[in-house]
Structures are given as structure tokens and as C-alpha cells.
Copies of this chain bind each other. A is one copy, B any other.
Amino acid sequence: MLKKKQAYTVAILGATGAVGKESLEILEERNFPIETLRLFSSKRSAGDVLSCQGKEYKVEELTEASSFAGVDIAFVSATDTISRDYGARLGATGVVVIDDSAVFRMDPDVPLVVPEVNAAALRSMKRGIVAIPNCTTTPLVMALKPLRDIAGIKRVVVTTFQSVSGTGSAAMDELVDQTKALMAFQDVKVQVYPYQIAFNLLPQVGSFGDGGDCSEEVKIVQETRKILEMPSLRVTATTVRVPVLRCHSEAINVELDRPLKANDARAALAEMPGVIVYDDPVKKLYPMPFDVSGKDEVYVGRVRVDESITNGLNLWVVSDNLRKGAALNAVQIAECLIQ
């Protein structure tokens, strides 16, 4: 755990990526007690200058020779390889690593944390590493927790609508570039995704294994169970990439243990820290990526009793995948650890 200090030396591995840049903004907005900041990236972006809390920092190239002496907290949001290569090493040398990859999430010695849901799990940290969940799992468990607490959960069917920023900056550029090309009747270049994403849908997030699920679907099931501490919770997921730049949306169907009226579900959700209920469809008020981009909270709308099953409930959840889905959740974990 972290020694109590006035201010901390913070490293960001992957500082120039979509999540890294968001982390800098969030550390500044939340006035995180930073003594000094070390920013790391691949060779391509090394030398860039980024600012945080009124100071400028030059981005260093991350190499085998990089020294992390004096670093208290490292936010790692780069590639699985970087997490694997540096996460365990840093964790073992006394740095608290808050890791955004899937590498450590299911390790029983690594807490997988959404502070509003399971901050207590931080006590079980054994390797100096805390993992943050996949950016679709976080809003899901934020919505499920208050429902579980009030009515119990039997089964969850979730369908995701995931923005391209979940893949990173290059995917955001690809969507914009493809869109511009199509508007100019030019050929579309496909690099990040296997197919054109502009004006299209890809029913694949991550890669496919033998079972027919893609890796994102497996992550949602496993991570939800771990975070909610319900190892046999019944969850099925279908994950779809959509031509949206920012925010992940989810259609969630829940079978509860006990009856719950829509109004009571809304009340329970509204009491959940970090959740905003935005739900008056007759007035056309429901969460949309367009509105939720840049917001910290998980927005929940379209709360409806599902009459097709006893104790059924439908929800529509939208969350900024770069904020609560990644950078914000990581910074909130750091805030818990320094309290």
C-alpha cells in the first residue's frame, strides 16, 4: 500500500494515448496531490510536451533502461505487452501499479476495482498491482450493484454498443478518416479494424477463441463476477463496435431475485454514487453518447419492467469509456489508496 505523503510521484505509461491524455486532465481536474509527474510513451511520441496542473512535462521513451526510482504510483494504459513487461516488475519494487489492461484482472492476488462498487477489495492487493476493469464492465457493475443490493440478481443479458475510442486514438482517427473518404466518394482505408467501421457495425470486440465468444464478451462475464463477488452469476454478453467516437452504451436485461418496480429501481440507481438516472422518455430524455461524452458519471435511462419474465428489468446505460471506463476509475483508485 502507499505511504502517506503530502504529494506523490506519479508515472503514466502510455501518456500520449487516448486514456493517458484523459488521465492528465483528470489528475488536474481533481487536483490530485502530485509532487512530480513522469510521462512515458513509445519512441514515436517521446519528446512531446504535455501539461498538468500548470506544469509542463516532456514525454520520455519507455525502454528496458527506464528508471522508476522514486515513483509512488504508476498508471499503465498502453498495450498488454507493456502491462506484462512493466506491471509486475514495478509492482514488485514498491510502486503501486494501477493497470488498465486485461493482463492481471483475473489474478486472484490482484484486486479488480470500481471504487463505488468494491473499494474494500483494495485490501487484498498482494502484488502491488490493482487492475481496473474493461470499459464495458465498469458501467455494467455500476448499474447492477444497487439493483443487486435491493432485489438480488439472477441473470444478466447485455448487448454493448462500443465506441472506437475504446480501441485507442488510432481507431478514432480511422473512423474520422474513413468518414471523410466516404463523404468525398473516395476509397476507405482499413487498418485498425478488420473492416470499415464508418457507417457500419462490427459484431466483434477483441479476438475470438474456440467458444464462439469474442474476448470482450468473456471479459464482461468474468470481470462482472469478480467485482460483484458473485462467482457463479449468470451473464451473457454480445459486444458490438459502432461508429461512435466516444462513450460505450449498453442494453441490459436483468432477471432479479425479487420484484422491483421501475420507480424503485430508479430510486436505487439514483442513490448509487457515480450514477445519474436520466430517464423521462416521453420528454425524450435518455442517455446518449453525444451528451455523456466528457461526463464522469454513468448515465442510466430507459428503466422498464420486462414483462417477459418474472422480476425482469431493462436498462439503457451510457458511460464515457475514457473517463469512468478507464482514466477516471484509475485515478479514483489512487485516491482511495492515498486516503
Contacts and interface: CB of A to CB of B under 8 A. Distances in A.
Interface of A: 155-157, 159, 161, 176, 179-180, 183, 194-196, 199-204, 208, 211-214, 234-236, 238, 240, 242-245, 249, 251, 253, 262, 281-282, 284, 286-290, 301-309, 312, 314, 316, 318
A284 B253 contact: no
A138 to B, nearest CB: 18
Contacts of A157: 157, 253, 308
17 contacts: A155-B308, A159-B159, A161-B201, A161-B240, A195-B290, A199-B245, A200-B289, A201-B244, A201-B318, A203-B287, A203-B288, A203-B302, A211-B304, A212-B303, A212-B304, A234-B308, A243-B243
Give the number of times this chain occurs in the complex, counting copies: 2
Nearest to A279: B212
Given A200-B289, A204-B286, A244-B243, A307 B251 contact: no
Contacts of A253: 157, 236, 238, 253
A307 B204 contact: no
Contacts of A318: 201
A212 B281 contact: yes
